[in-house]
Amino acid sequence: MKLLIKNGTLVLADCEKKADILIENGKISKIGKDVTADCKTVDASGKHVLPGLIDMHVHLREPGFEGKEDIESGSKAAVAGGFTQICCMPNTDPVCDNAVVVNYIKNRQREVNLCKINPIGAITKGENGAAMSDIGKMKKAGAVAISDDGKSVMDSNIMRLAMEYASGFDIKCLCHCEDINLVDGGVVNEGYNSTLTGLKGSLRAAEDIMIARDIALAESLNVPVHICHVSTYSGVEIIRSAKSRGVKVTAETCPHYFILTDDIITTFDTNTKVNPPVREQKDRAAITEGIKDGTLDCIVTDHAPHALKDKQVEYNLAAFGISGIETSFALSYTYLVKTGVLTLSGLMQRMSKAPAEILNLDGGELKEGGVADITIVDLNKKYKIDSGKFLSKGKNTPFNGFEVFGKVVCTIVDGEIKYEV
Ligand code: DOR
Ligand code: ZN
Ligand code: ZN
C-alpha cells in the first residue's frame, strides 16, 4: 500500500516548497527531494499539493431527504471539491439526535468509502429546541460535535445546559444564530434591497443577538463555543471583542458571505436565498477582514443541496441554502488568495488546519507521520463554474457562470486516490 506524489509544490504551514511525498499504509512516510519508490506514482508537476480540505459544516440530507442529496452523492461531490473529511449536520429525517442515526451515517460512510464523514448530533431531540438529546451516547457512537443547525436553540437555559454537557464530554456546540421571533419570516437581509424588491427582510440584529447570547453563555460558564456561518459586520465585531477578552470562541463563515452582497437578490434568483442571508458591502468587507485577522477561524461551505422543485418556486417559498462543496476551494482561492487577502498557507489554515483543531480531527497539515489526506490542485486552471456538472444532486448555486481559478485534480484519503481528473 504505497503511493508516490512527485514534483508538486507542497503547501506547508508557513511556506511552499517543491518536494515529493511518499505514502505508506495510509500515512505520509517521507517528504523530500528525489524520493523514489516502486509503486504507483502521481505526477504533480505544475500542481500544488495541499493538506486534505476539511469542511466542518455540510448537509448530506440522508436519512430522509435523499431527493436533495444522499451520503453517496454528497461524498462524490465532496471529493470532487477536494474535501477529504466533512462533518454533517443533523437536520435529517429522522434527526440525528441519537446513537442509532450516528451509527447509520458511519456505516453508510464505510460502504461509500470516499471521504471521511463525521456526524454532528442534535442538541435537542428532533431539533425541537425543548428536550436535550443524549450527548454522551452520541459522542460514544462517534459524533464530533452537537448543533441544532437549521434552527436556533431559542431557550437560553437549554443552550446553557447543552454547552455545559458538551464541554463535559469534550465536544463543541456549533451555534446556528438566529432569533426566530425577530426574523419573523424574513427571507433576505433587511435593507435597501429588501425594500426595493418587496421581499421580507431580516435584521442583522436577529443574528447578532444570538451570537452575543451564545458568547455570553460561553464566557459565564468558561466553556468553548463555535459560531456558525457569520454573515454580519457586527457579528464579526462581537466575536473579535470576545476573543480579545479570552473567551473560548471560534467561528466560521462561507464563500457566499465574503463574495456576494444582497444586490444579487434583485434578480429574484432563488439560488441566492440562504440562511443567514447575504448582506451588504460593509458586511462583506468585515467578513473578509475577519478571515484575514483570524477572528473568523475557518471557511466552511454550509453545503445545503436542494432539489430543483424546492428552488423553482417564488422567492418567499423557496428553500434556504446553497450547494457549495464543489465550488468552495476555487471561490476561496480566487477571492481570497488571488486578491492578496491570504497566502495559500493561510487559506489552508482556514480550510484544513483550523477545522481539524476545532473539532479534534485527524489531518490539517502535510507532515511525516501524519495521515495521508491530500488534495492536489491546478491553480492556473481558469474555468467557469457550471452547476450542470456538479456531482451533488443539489445544483442550487448563485455562482453559476462565475469565472474562477483553481481546479481540484486529485483527492487522496488515507493514502487512497478517491478522485482524479
Ligand atoms: O441556508 C441554509 N440551509 N441555512 C441553514 O441554516 C440550513 C440549511 C439547510 O439545511 O438547507
Ligand atoms: Zn445554519
Ligand atoms: Zn447549515
Which one, of 156, 150, 153, 144, lies nearest residue 119 by Cα? 144
If one counts every other C-beta atom within 10 angstroms of the C-beta of residue 92, the result is 24
The residue to mutate among 57, 183, 320, 322, having the most atoms of ligand 1 within 8 angstroms of its beta carbon, is: 320
Quote the pLDDT of residue 418. 98
**pLDDT value for 87:** 99
pLDDT in tens for each of the 421 residues of the chain?
899 999 999 999 999 999 999 999 999 999 999 999 999 999 999 999 999 999 999 999 999 999 999 999 999 999 999 999 999 999 999 999 999 999 999 999 999 999 999 999 999 999 999 999 999 999 999 999 999 999 999 999 999 999 999 999 999 999 999 999 999 999 999 999 999 999 999 999 999 999 999 999 999 999 999 999 999 999 999 999 999 999 999 999 999 999 999 999 999 999 999 999 999 999 999 999 999 999 999 999 999 999 999 999 999 999 999 999 999 999 999 999 999 999 999 999 999 999 999 999 999 999 999 999 999 999 999 999 999 999 999 999 999 999 999 999 999 999 999 999 9
248 Cβ neighbours under 8 A, 6+ residues apart: 218, 222, 223, 224, 225
Q: What is the pLDDT of residue 84?
A: 99
What distance in angstroms lies between residue 201's CA and the mean position of ligand 1's atoms?
17
- Dist. CA 151 → ligand 2 center (Å): 7
**What pLDDT does residue 85 have?**
98
pLDDT of the residue at 135: 97
Which amino acid residue places its CA nearest to atom 7 of ligand 1?
Answer: 150
Q: What was the pLDDT predicted at 330?
A: 99
Judge residue 343's burial from the number of C-beta atoms within 10 Å of its C-beta, 0-12 exposed, 13-18 middle, 19 or more buried.
Answer: middle
Question: What is the predicted pLDDT for the residue at 138?
Answer: 98
Q: Which residues are catalytic?
A: 302
Strand partners, 226: 174, 250
Q: What is the pLDDT of residue 314?
A: 97
| Ligand lying closest to the C-alpha of residue 175 | 2
Ligand 1: atom nearest CA of 304 is 11
The position carrying cell 492536489 is 376
Ligand 1 atom nearest residue 176's Cα: 6
pLDDT of residue 46: 98
In this structure, the number of other CB atoms found within 10 A of the CB of residue 100 comes to 12
Tell me, what's the pLDDT at 350?
98
* Alpha carbon nearest to ligand 1 atom 6, residue: 150
Ligand 1 atom nearest to CA at 59: 10
Q: How many helices (H) and strands (E) does the chain have?
A: 14, 18
In 218-259, the DSSP E strands lie at 225-227, 249-253
- Kindly provide the residue ranges of all beta strands, DSSP E only, lying in 256-304, ordered along the sequence: 298-299
By most ligand atoms within 8 Å of CB, the mutation choice from 59, 62, 68 for ligand 1 is 59
Sign of the CA dihedral running 66, 69, 71, 76: positive
Q: Measured from the CA of 319, which atom of ligand 1 is nearest?
A: 11
pLDDT digits (tens, 9 = 90+) for 147-176: 999 999 999 999 999 999 999 999 999 999
CA–centroid distance, residue 275 to ligand 2 (Å): 7
Ligand 1 pocket: which residues have CB below 6 Å?
Answer: 59, 91, 149-150, 176, 274-275, 304, 320-321
In the numeric block, the cell 447509520 is attached to 104
Q: How many angstroms is it from 283 CA to the middle of ligand 1?
A: 20
Q: Considering only CA atoms, which of 133, 96, 134 is closest in space to residue 118?
A: 96
Neighbours of ion ligand 2 (CB under 5 A): 149, 176
